[in-house]
Amino acid sequence: MNPTLLLTIASHLWQSTLFALFAAGLTRLLRKNQARIRYSIWLAASLKFLVPFSLLMALGGRFSWRTTPAVERQPLAIFVQGIGQPFEGLTQSVVTSSRPSFPFLAALLILWAAGSLTLTLIWAFRWRRVAQTVRRAVAVAAGREIETLRRIEASGGIATPIELRLSGGSLEPGVFGILRPLLILPAGIGCHLSKAQLESVIAHEISHIRRYDNLTAALHMVVEILFWFHPLVWWLGSRLVDERERACDEEVLKVVGQPQEYAEGILRVCELYLQSPVLAVSGVTGSDLKKRVESIMAQRRIASLNAARKTVLTLAGIAVVVGPFAFGVWTAPPAQAQSQLRSLSFEVASVRLHKSGEAPRQNLYRPGGLFTATDATLKSLVLNAYNISSERLSGGPGWLDSDGFDIEAKAQADMFPARQLGREDTEKLDLMLQGLLADRFRLQIRREPREMPIYALVVAKGGSKLKPAFKDRNCSAVAAGPAGLCHMFSGGARAGITAQSVDMNDLADVLSNWGLTDRPVFNQTGLQGVFDFYLKWTPDGLRSPNAQQAISQRSENIAVDFNGPSLAEAIQQQLGLKLESQKGAVDFYVIETAEKPSEN
């Protein structure tokens, strides 16, 4: 089992639990109203286990209404994301740092399958017992019972006659079947009940048929089989039975009346017959009999839904269905980017599995709209195409960071300059590479916004020290990613960046995605144009006393400035900029599916 799938299931269970608790509060508010309303709410909470909100969000994600990228996620979007997917923040650590061992995941899967299979066999055995009783039952064409049934059908407006069978067993009166329900009565029941009592009991069973209670009970049985390990599922089942029987009681009293005869009839049936062992066979003695009889005899007035409560129910229904869909629309990629992705593509592309380990791994954008990759893993290609660091990518197949591929791709003529690539050019190539990965690797990626600590790149006190670019950048090729980075060096004594014609978005991308900072960096300098600069700093690993002692003991004569500036200090001293700690919304990416490409 994929760890990402495990976390997705955990998020779904969390959503379903919150929904059930919300349903509990709503039914509490409506405790003096009709039982059928509360039953509908409990049923929705049960069926929520079968319908992940992620499906509605994914459907909404197919619609895009924004034409330009949003600068920052709104707090409401972050709040909804946190409520809906509280475990997504664990995905990266689970997938990349310490994958749960196969025996652990296999044990979970085996345990779940064993529980579901056991429960399925139990229900099947009980259903078989009831089915045998039904097959032995005798169809009735005349008599007191059939006359009472036809009279209730006529008064209730039921056009298709319901088949009545008399059983020789001790099973209580009940409705068997979903598509073509049968009414099963114990033989001789008419001798033990008065006319009014028999009429009330049969009216109760007819109410089950009109409400399709066997169908809804069968759906909840599916929920119990799939999610047997969740205590809330069983609690929902008891709430469904309670409100189902009370809803039928309310209908019987409305049609037949005579609460005392009805209550005595239920107690008499409970005394003489056994309750059905299957939830999908609706009987008459379910739920808490004491509370039911007290409610029947009290004849409490059932309050009608006032305007305020109708509004609450309507808004709750809209929020449940429309809310996840609307959130999917809100978080969908901008329409402009989607249209660009569809319109921009490489004219020619070759993808082959790398078979020789001699050449160094590299991904390069070249002038003229060329992209070449040697022994590139799918992970490195995704990081380049989406211009993100590895910490913001999770999921994917086991070969994501192991198998290498050689790629040669060429854009249409005259789409890109022949000598140099600007930022807009590399952004276009990013989109084209995204399309190539989707086409050849069948790559599907889900974007998830998360609030986390970030660095804001701002102008330091005293102003910027950057100088405008003196001439066009003359690099013949650049590493796939931010444009303008001509050279970055990192040695035992120092680290630095030599850049030409770089804008501040480029610099923020380099700091974020090249492992130079411990959190994402966003450009908030407000500086326009491109700049040349040389940035040098002493890596943090050389600033510790232990590192200094280790280097001093080496025989080589290494000139090290142990007191040199850190990266943050160098940015402020040499560029007149500053890394300011803030909190912000950052897009993370989850690989949902990917396949190895066929060679060409």
What is the amino acid identity at position 399? W
Residue carrying structure tokens 């799918």: 378
pTM of the model: 0.53
- Amino acid identity, position 323: G
* Cβ burial, residue 555 (10 Å; 0-12/13-18/19+): exposed
Backbone angles phi, psi at 363, to 5 degrees: -130, 125
| Residue 156 CB neighbours (<10 A) | 14
Under 8 Å between Cβ of 437 and 385: yes
Model pLDDT, residue 77 = 43
Going by C-alpha positions, the residue among 269, 270, 276, 241 that lies closest to residue 129 is 276
In tens, the pLDDT along 487-516 reads 444 444 567 888 888 889 888 888 887 778
**Pairing mode, strands 577-593 and 393-395:** parallel
- Cβ–Cβ contacts within 10 Å for residue 227, how many? 23
pLDDT at 469: 82
Distances (CA, A) of 51 to 56, 223, 457: 9, 11, 43
Q: Per residue in 82-117, is it b (16+ CB within 10 Å) or e — as a string?
A: eebbebbeebbebbbeeeeeeeebeeeeeebeeebe
State which amino acid sits at residue 409.
Answer: A
CA distance 124 to 126: 5
Buried-state track 178-201, b at ≥16 Cβ within 10 A, e below 16: eeebbbbbbeebbeebeebbbbbb
Helix (H) / strand (E) element for 532: namely: strand 531-537
* Amino acid identity, position 480: A
Q: Are 449 and 481 in contact (CB under 8 A)?
A: no
**What tens digit of pLDDT does each residue of 350-374 get?**
999 988 766 777 888 888 889 999 9
Whether residue 596 contacts residue 399, with contact meaning beta carbons closer than 8 Å, is answered with yes
CB 240 within 8 A of CB 39: yes
Q: What is the CA radius of gyration of the chain?
A: 34
Q: Give the pLDDT confidence score for residue 502 in this predicted structure.
A: 83
HEC-encoded secondary structure of 325-345: HHHHHHCCCCHHHHHHHHHCC
Measured between alpha carbons, how far is 222 from 96 in angstroms, rounded to an integer?
35
What's residue 136's pLDDT? Answer: 86
Rounded to a whole number of angstroms, the distance between the first and last alpha carbons of the chain is 32
Task: Name the residue ranges covered by the structural domains of the chain.
Answer: 3-100+306-330, 116-298, 344-593
d(CA 284, CA 267): 10
Strand extents, DSSP E, 129-233 = 138-139, 163-167, 174-176, 182-186
Q: Where are the alpha helices (DSSP H) in 303-461?
A: 307-330, 335-343, 378-386, 423-440
Upper half-sphere CA count for residue 480 (Cβ side, 13 Å) = 31
Q: How far is CA 564 from CA 101, 170, 543, 572, 584, in A?
A: 44, 91, 8, 13, 31
Contacts of 488 (CB under 8 A, 6+ apart): 495, 496, 497, 498, 510, 514
CB contact at 8 A, 191 and 174: no
Q: Which two tokens stand for residue 567?
A: 């990266």
Of 544, 23, 536, 20, nearest to 313 by C-alpha is 23
How many Cβ atoms are within 10 Å of 222's Cβ, its own excluded? Answer: 15
Low-confidence ranges of the chain (pLDDT < 50): 1, 65-84, 88-100, 335-338, 341, 473-492, 555
Packing angle of the helix pair 3-29, 35-47 (nearest 10 deg): 170
Pairing of strands 531-537, 521-523: unpaired
SS3 label, residue 101 = coil
Look at residue 219 in the predicted model and tell me its pLDDT: 92
Residues in the chain: 600
